[in-house]
Amino acid sequence: MGWRITGYRESYQGRLHIDGVDAVDLLRRYGSPLFVFSEKRIRANLERLRRAALSVHPRVKICFAAKANSLLGILRVIRESGADIEVNSGGELFKALRAGFRPEQIVFNGVSKTPEELSDAIVSGIYAINVDSSYELDLIEDLSRRLNRPANIALRIVPEIGTRSHAGLQTALLTSKFGMSQAQAVECLHRALKNPRAFNLVGLHIHIGSQTPDPEPYIQAFELVWRVALALYRETGHRLRHINLGGGFPVPYLHNSRLAEMLPEKERTLFTARLDFGQVLRQALERAATIGDHLAGDLLDRLELVFEPGRSIIADAGTLLATICNIKTRPETGDTWLLLDAGYELLLSMSNYKWYYHLVAAHRADDPHTTAYKVAGPLCDGGDVYFDIEGRGRLPDYRFLPEGLAGGDPLAVLDAGAYTLAQASHYNGRPLPAVVLVTESGELQLIRRRESYQDLLYAEV
Ligand code: PLP
């Protein structure tokens, strides 16, 4: 369970290197904190997923979930790697188009889309709007009529499938805010078919959640959606073009077995999760193939399978480099505290989901990481810490780092590419850090400049 990834994240002469580039040098050159992304790793992650899917089904569409990271420089890499995109707002749709994605490469999700966002999606002619409710279907019907253009739609079904992920990352429960029930979806499918001037009914969508550690929820989800698609075909002869199984494939974040042992089973499972995506898909398709006759088999073969991975593409491709800005001991508790220049303003999940991010001393990567420290961010908020402030043990109380760390030392927050910068805030008047991409050819590309104090005022009137 080491943190090294051969050819990508390694140590050389004791220092952390990303695609052969010295992390300490990067900090010196671009300042702290700093996000560093690897184009090679992004491409490799996409390729691994695509190959796994294609090994079990011939028609596959991988739509990167822009919510995980929507920097234009990252979206361009994704597009150039041949992937498509999933967006969740008018803003992400705008960025996707700006990054050069063609409309037929775009899938639009969202529980609360505005008429303006829906109009933009209809006019652009995107691959599919994933309709969240019967109300939204009415809205789209009205807009399509006015725009004199049918909308490509898929319906988002929320079954009752739980996962072992964090409660906030589960999206397939009837108690969640997402999608429509199976019965509602069936009704909407028939309504949509009756009005071809307004709707081009192309698919079904389901997303069971993020960081899902087990295969069975995917298999169940596919079975359920497949049954709906098959029933529709039998009743009406309408062939859906695609089934969208969403994203959620997990990434292992915890790279230290001693820390893993300290966590409750739920968190240990969550942060060490690995899934063989090809294997999961194979099992899902095998189960689906047992349902129905040869006509069903033909329908299944011709279906395009859509996926919306975010985390599994971008999380481990991003590293957040930070600096120890203050260090103190508390003789009363025996603790040594490291206060960094990066906290939950950049790692929101750490605070709201008690998300684990692994820390490595970038300048002493090969030294034993065995000394226990309390680690915290810079914000004026007692919750801005790298442990579970509520004392419920969902994060380790201490982090293991080399002995004798000092102010000014660089730390690397690993696997920090997903749901970090995308959720970042200016809290406490902290400008957002610079972002550097190590390109495939090993060049350094600044894809977001460090914000200035002036930038803190950019929209104020
Ligand atoms: N699709 C939808 C509808 C989502 O809500 C999300 C995020 O939860 C994703 C895709 C991406 O999930 P992940 O980043 O876990 O792959």
pLDDT in tens, 338-389: 999 999 999 999 999 999 999 999 999 999 999 999 999 999 999 999 999 9
Q: At what angle do helices 216-236 and 277-289 cross, to 10 degrees?
A: 40
Count the neighbouring beta carbons within 10 Å of the beta carbon of residue 128. Answer: 29
Ligand 1: atom nearest CA of 250 is 15
**What pLDDT score was predicted for residue 293?**
78
Closest residue by CA, ligand 1 atom 8: 210
Q: Specify the residue with its C-alpha closest to ligand 1, atom 6.
A: 247
User: β-strands 304-307, 242-244: how paired?
Assistant: parallel
- Which residue's C-alpha comes closest to atom 9 of ligand 1? 247
Q: Write down the catalytic residue from 63, 188, 325, 380.
A: 380
Q: For residue 166, report the distance from its CA to the centre of ligand 1, in Å.
A: 13
Give the pLDDT confidence score for residue 296 in this predicted structure.
83
Backbone angles phi, psi at 133, to 5 degrees: -160, 170
Average of per-residue pLDDT across 38-52:
98
The phi, psi pair for 386, rounded to 5°, reads -90, 20
CA 353 to centroid of chain Cα atoms: 14
**Selection from 67, 66, 15, 18 nearest residue 39 by Cα:** 18
- Ligand 1 atom closest to Cα of residue 312: 16
Burial 162-190 (b: 16+ CB within 10 A, else e): ebbbbeebbbbbeeeebbbebebbbebbe
Position in ligand 1 atom list of the atom nearest CA 109: 3
Q: Cα separation of 343 and 350, whole Å? A: 8
Q: Is 90 exceeded by the pLDDT of residue 41?
A: yes
Cα–Cα distance for residue pair 326/294, rounded to 1 Å:
68
Please give all residues whose beta carbon lies within 6 A of any atom in ligand 1, as ranges.
Answer: 65, 67-68, 86, 109, 171, 207, 210-211, 246-249, 308-312, 418
Distance 29 CA to ligand 1 centre (A): 34
pLDDT by residue (tens digit) across 270-310? 999 999 999 999 999 999 999 877 778 889 999 999 999 99
Place of tokens 């002469």: 13
For the residues 185-208, what does the mean pLDDT come to? Answer: 97
Residue 264 has pLDDT above 90, yes or no: yes
User: Does residue 19 register a pLDDT over 90?
Assistant: yes
> Does the active-site annotation cover 325?
no
- Going from the Cα of 339 to the center of ligand 1, the distance in angstroms, rounded, reads 32
The whole-angstrom separation of Cα 98 and Cα 134 is 31
Residue range 386-414, pLDDT digits in tens: 999 999 999 999 999 999 999 999 999 99
Note the pLDDT tens digit of each residue in 310-320.
Answer: 999 999 999 99
SS (H, E, C) 187-243: HHHHHHHHCCCCEEEEEEECCCECCCCCCHHHHHHHHHHHHHHHHHHHHHCCCCCEE
From the CA of 248, how far away is ligand 1's center (Å)?
Answer: 5
User: Per the omega criterion (within 30 degrees of 0), is the bond before 396 cis?
Assistant: no
Q: How far apart are CA 131 and CA 112, in angstroms?
A: 10
What does pLDDT average to over the chain? 96
To the nearest whole percent, how much of the chain has pLDDT over 90? 93
Residues linked to residue 321 through DSSP beta bridges, in sequence order: 34, 412
Q: Are 276 and 5 in contact (CB under 8 A)?
A: no
